[in-house]
Amino acid sequence: MNTATQNRGILSALYEGRISYIRFWAYIGMMLGATGLALWGGNGYNEDNYLFMLVSMQGLIWLGTGGLLAAGAAIVASMVKPGVLRNTAAAVMVPWFDGGVLMVALMAALTVFEPAASAVSYLDQSNLFAGKVIMTMNVLLLFSSICYIAYLFAPESFIGKMATLTAWLGVYAGGSALLLRWYESYLLLDGEIGHAPVSNIYEVFILLFCITTVIYLQWERRYDAKAMGAFVMVLVAAGVFFGVWLDSVGQGEIKPLVPALKSYWMKIHVPLNFVGYGAFAVACGAGMAWLFRARLEVNGSSALLRVFPTLDQLDQLAYKSVAVGFPAFTLATILGAAWAAEAWGGYWSWDPKETWALIVWLVYGAYLHVRVSHGWHGRTLAWWTVIAFLVTVFCFLGVNMYLSGLHSYGRLA
């Protein structure tokens, strides 16, 4: 056995069996520790101070205790009842948690490139490093989408690998850039405006690219659906251009939070919503791929057909994406209602954003009904995912551009 295979053995062992199971519960324990810190550490939850509490000794104690206790419990459980190791949740979730940790580490490394404190100015934020990382993400994602398109016509494994690799790098660049923005928000104006990077349309767009790409990459890895990448990543690429435009008109600046957004709900409600939007984008990509393949089959050009997943698989993938997006979107809307009950005097105000969220929910709910109960498949549903995504785009972009309401802080200037 040479070193390479041995290393590989160690690496894959981290994601298998008992070690993966214990790590899974250690992560869960740490999260519970973080929640406990928020609720009972210090004087309870304090928006401005929580991040600093997390990285202090106090945070280390809470997270460490949570992680160790949960890991210990997992060890005991796996000894007493080895059957628990057959549960797939741990194997599925641990890579995600690891990815998150890697992203945080990447962000920490990138802070080295930040300008000196004296050079940081609220009025001119162009020297902050996150902007450059975001530009890197833009380039990577655009390159990736070009590779995916090229892969359709020249299905060589090298091009395919480049496409996947740059998509992953783009995700990590985007994710760490967002985290870096969070850090940077504390550098400005004496740390008084620190807030999570999900407060304006520019930031959530970056989040959307990352989530869409990640969901697609999961389908690619699990179901070998590389040809679908061209369709999903084209949507992402279109978004990238929009993001660049937003930045060019000054929407990319870090601004203080308006009082209505100063709540821990923002960190929960907004990202969860974008899991929904991202999944719907992937469903749209699958739908477009279905329609494209159907057209190819009519024309009978077989060269392209060889790389495509079958119509049945694409149909399944669109459904799977909706199956990810719909519960996430439902939960996000409910949590949004919970936030509204705390901030606006009622859980539902028929605000345009709320109403459009309801419309999006109804459109995808109807999709699920005709598919599951009425057994519809194929062309109609492919079109349905595409049109439903247009409705979704109107919900998260159009409402902010054309309609006014309580969600107007997401407004375009």
Partner 1 sequence: MHTFKDHFKTFLLRLGSMTLAIVILTVLALASVIGTVLLQNQSQADYLQQFGPIWYWVFRSLGLFDMYHTWWFLSLLGLLMASLGVCLWRQIPRILKDMRSRKVTLSESAMKHMKHIQHWQADQLDSTAFIEHVKWQLNGWSFREDSYADTHYVRADKGRYNKLAYILVHAAILIILIGGWLGVQYGFRGDMAVPEGSKESEISYLKGTSTEYMKMPFEVQCNSFDIDFYPNGMPKEFRSNLTIIDQGKEVLTSDIIVNEPLYYKGVRIYQASFGDGGSNIHLKLFRMDGTSDVAEAQARVYTKYKDEKSGATLEITDFRPHNVENMAEADQPKDFKDLGASVDMIFRASGVKPVKVRSFIDPFVLEEQNRGSFFQISLSGDTKEFQPFALGLDFSNEKEWLLFVAFVKHLAATEMKSPEDSKMAFKAALDEVFPDGKPDNFKDMAVRVMQAVQTIPRLPWPFLPVLDDYDQKYYTGLQVASDPGMNVVWIGSALLVIGLYIMFYVSHRKVWLVIKQHEKGYSISLAGMSNRNPLNFDREFHDILSNLDQYTRTFGKGDAS
Which spans of this chain sit near partner 1 (rule: CB under 8 A)? 83, 86-87, 122-124, 189-190, 192-193, 222-223, 255-256, 258-260, 262-263, 265, 313, 316, 320, 323-324, 326-327, 330-331, 334, 337-338, 341-348, 350, 352, 355-356, 358-359, 362-363, 365-366, 369, 372-374, 399, 403-405
Sign of the alpha-carbon torsion through 413, 408, 326, 195: positive
Nearer to partner 1, 139 or 403 (CB): 403
CA–CA separation, 24 and 11 (whole Å): 15
How far does the chain reach from its first CA to its final CA, in angstroms? Answer: 62
Nearer to partner 1, 102 or 249 (CB): 249
Nearer to partner 1, 52 or 265 (CB): 265
CA–CA separation, 191 and 183 (whole Å): 10
Of how many residues is the chain composed?
413
CB of 49 to partner 1, least distance (A): 15
CB of 405 to partner 1, least distance (A): 8
Contact of 243 with 206, CB cutoff 8 Å: yes
Nearer to partner 1, 112 or 374 (CB): 374
CB of 312 to partner 1, least distance (A): 9
Sign of the alpha-carbon torsion through 326, 330, 333, 335: negative
Burial letters 215-236, b for 16+ CB under 10 A, else e: bbbbbbeeeebbbbbbbbbbbb
Q: Which of 285, 407, 283, 318 is nearest to 357 (CA)?
A: 407
CB of 154 to partner 1, least distance (A): 27
Rounded to 10 degrees, what is the CA torsion of 380, 385, 386, 390? 130
CB of 259 to partner 1, least distance (A): 4
Nearer to partner 1, 146 or 324 (CB): 324
User: What is each CA distance from 101 to 10, 24, 168, 215, 353, in whole angstroms?
Assistant: 19, 13, 15, 18, 33
Nearer to partner 1, 69 or 406 (CB): 406
Nearer to partner 1, 82 or 95 (CB): 82
Nearer to partner 1, 86 or 295 (CB): 86
Rounded to 10 degrees, what is the CA torsion of 111, 103, 282, 16? 170
Report helix, strand or coil for 136.
helix
CB of 362 to partner 1, least distance (A): 5
Nearer to partner 1, 156 or 192 (CB): 192
CB of 334 to partner 1, least distance (A): 4
CB of 124 to partner 1, least distance (A): 6
Phi, psi of 111 (to 5 degrees): -60, -20
CB of 149 to partner 1, least distance (A): 25
- What residues contact 172, with CB distance under 8 A and at least 6 apart? 102, 103, 106
CB of 343 to partner 1, least distance (A): 5
Nearer to partner 1, 6 or 310 (CB): 310
Q: Which two tokens stand for residue 128?
A: 């902050």
Q: Which of 93, 123, 76 is nearest to 24 (CA)?
A: 93
CA–CA separation, 409 and 195 (whole Å): 15
